[in-house]
Structure 1
Amino acid sequence: MNKPALAAIPVFKLYGESLEWPTPDLLHCEPISQRSREHHWEIKPHRHADLCQLLFVRRGQAQLEVEGQRTLLGESAVQVLPPLSVHGFRFSEDIEGYVVTLAAPLVGHLQAQLGAAENTLSKSASYPARGDVEYLNELFAALQNEYQGQQPAREMLMHALVSMIVVWVGRQALQRSSASQRPQRAREYFNGFIQLVETHYREHVKVEELAHRLGISVSHLNGTCRELAGQPALQIIHERQLLEAKRLLTYTGMTIYEISADLGFSDPTNFTRLFRRRVGISPKVFRDRLKADQANDPGPPSLT
């Protein structure tokens, strides 16, 4: 039942344009303000089928919605948006920064050269710029200048600049991974549990059964989940169910009953009770508020 939700989310090459890639280059670069100003500083949730984007916020604020999770970038940072991730933005009018869009062949080339950080461009993540703000701004500004020009060896220099940016992002990802490392065995159990949750969250499998499949006790599993995720195993399962519920409520016209059944609840009352307990409001109120927000905010013109 995931297909209706994804089908309702627009797929763009570049937001607000046709599906035709507008440049012979394997990348596209533009200031954040260029496109967001045209859409009243808001880019509605959408996804790209085969493009990766690097969003560099130098100054101003950006409210990001990635896979239903909202975060606020109130400091300079680089945001990675991999292919097919559902994302949208709302920018402050004083926003300064750049958006670089990379086509699949270039992404593959860059990832092959990243070594230990090869998965950097395939995961949504935000990396604070901190002391590297001006260094990054010089790289992005140089890339933008080169993209707009027609100097000799233009493509070579653009790819060199993008490589420098991606190397910076890859190193940040490695530092973050190193800083958060836990005993390897515990991480293996946790990763195995997350995979089981992703496969079976609609089936309401008991925590005891999942622990048994991993070959550990329930207390061991809960301890590992608390250590690495800050919450017990059952709560992680519920969070995955609620994430899917929010996506279906937001992007499809399925009824509450249909969503409840799709998520494996035998009784819609149990679904509503869980949703209200964890989210603070009922599924109906959640959807009604979304509709009210959309009605009060006309946003950019409809795209066809």
Structure 2
Amino acid sequence: MTQASILYRQRINTNAAAHRIDSTLDARRYTLANGRHDTARAAILLQAGSAVIGLGRESITLAAPAVAWVDVLPQSYLRVSPGSAGYLLSLSDVLVKEAVGQGAESAPLRYLAERRVVQNQIEDAESLDELAQSCRSVERELKRGGKASWSFLTAHLSLVLIHCWRLSGLEDISQQGHSTNSALLMRFRHLAELHLREHWKIADYASALGISHDRLHDICMRSLQRTPLDLLHDRLTHEACLRLVRPGLSIEQVAADLGFRSTTHFSRFFRLRTGLTPARYRTAAISQVASTETLAMRNYADWP
């Protein structure tokens, strides 16, 4: 196995862990964050029984069938009662953000990924079964060790996020209507996912939304205290950060994939946004001097 392959496998092992919770006569406790992986988020499917999620000074009760998507703190844990069964997935932000993707459907998944979601006593048995299948697939793939596939994991994690979105009720709420400004912001975000690499001008987005440049600027400033251009640049920087830590991609390839006319133009843009050159950012991320979460300037929880 080459050094690049070893680093690739190590990266998988440090970004995900999966536990199948089998029914036993004893209560059990699982640590959500530990030294084996860089855990930032946890997905929990409780198929039977009850459990408590400990998040610092806060605790959350689960009553099966239940799903939970939570941020992970250093002392976070899951304590399950006797007879409980389900799955626990511990995930890094890098893996989650790649699973969210960059298509038109990414906006609601990114909205979900940045929030805490807990839903108890779910009645949709079919969706719960499909979610269990995806959790089972992640668990089995991680057991493959050196043969595990990053693409396989992100594909099934995308399904996990979609099921959590639906089972949480957020999908129904999103379809019940938004205020005019919220609806326009959501559409702006969808367009950004579709045309980010084409480097559309703000006027292009405004035209596609059927509003003026000034109105789009006003909506973004009133709702998010950010200009449309700042939001687009944050999103582009975020995407660059993800690609720079992906194995096998040169800086020249990252620049081309993101639609920059030259590597020099990309490097100048990236340095202005992060304070680091792409090469220095990659070195810091790989050596774990600083994580992508601390180096990336912003998250996107404020987008609708």
- TM-score of the pair, normalised by structure 2: 0.50
- TM-score of the pair, normalised by structure 1: 0.50
